[in-house]
């Protein structure tokens, strides 16, 4: 909170405040700062894992879920590697996207 207050003093537009353990601390933070505050939710981290809707109701302007994306990717990689190990000579595992869907997803079709 000390750094967040200093950032407000020097007129930053918004802040992340980490490790808010519960709703009371979250509410107090948003109320005290009276400026846009971003949430950073890491499952298993110190900040209480609330839904985006709950965080918005408590006054947060946005929320990031970086750990969620990393762990989902790792889980998918493990599942895919297991499928490849079991059927490496039988073609692509069923959970992967087709080449055309990947090209579409990353924007190759626009060029």
Looking at residue 89, what is its pLDDT?
62
> CA nearest 48: which of 75, 16, 32, 26?
26
Query: pLDDT by residue (tens digit) across 17-27?
Result: 888 999 999 99
Query: Which residues 6+ apart lie within 8 Å of 103 measured at CB?
Result: 109
Question: Closest by alpha carbon to 27, among 47, 55, 53, 2?
Answer: 55
Q: Residue ranges of the domains in the chain?
A: 2-67, 81-111
The answer to whether the pTM exceeds 0.85 is: no
- Rounded distance between C-alpha atoms, residue 95 and residue 82, angstroms: 12
């Amino acid at each position: 909170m000390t750094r967040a207050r200093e950032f407000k003093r020097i007129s930053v537009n918004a802040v992340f405040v980490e490790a808010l353990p519960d709703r009371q601390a979250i509410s107090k933070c948003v109320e005290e700062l009276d400026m846009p505050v971003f949430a950073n939710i890491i499952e298993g981290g110190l900040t209480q894992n609330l839904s985006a809707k709950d965080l918005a109701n408590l006054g947060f302007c946005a929320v990031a879920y970086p750990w969620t994306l990393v762990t989902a990717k790792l889980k998918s990689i493990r599942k895919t590697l297991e499928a490849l190990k079991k059927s490496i000579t039988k073609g692509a595992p069923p959970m992967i996207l087709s080449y055309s869907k990947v090209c579409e997803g990353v924007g190759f079709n626009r060029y």
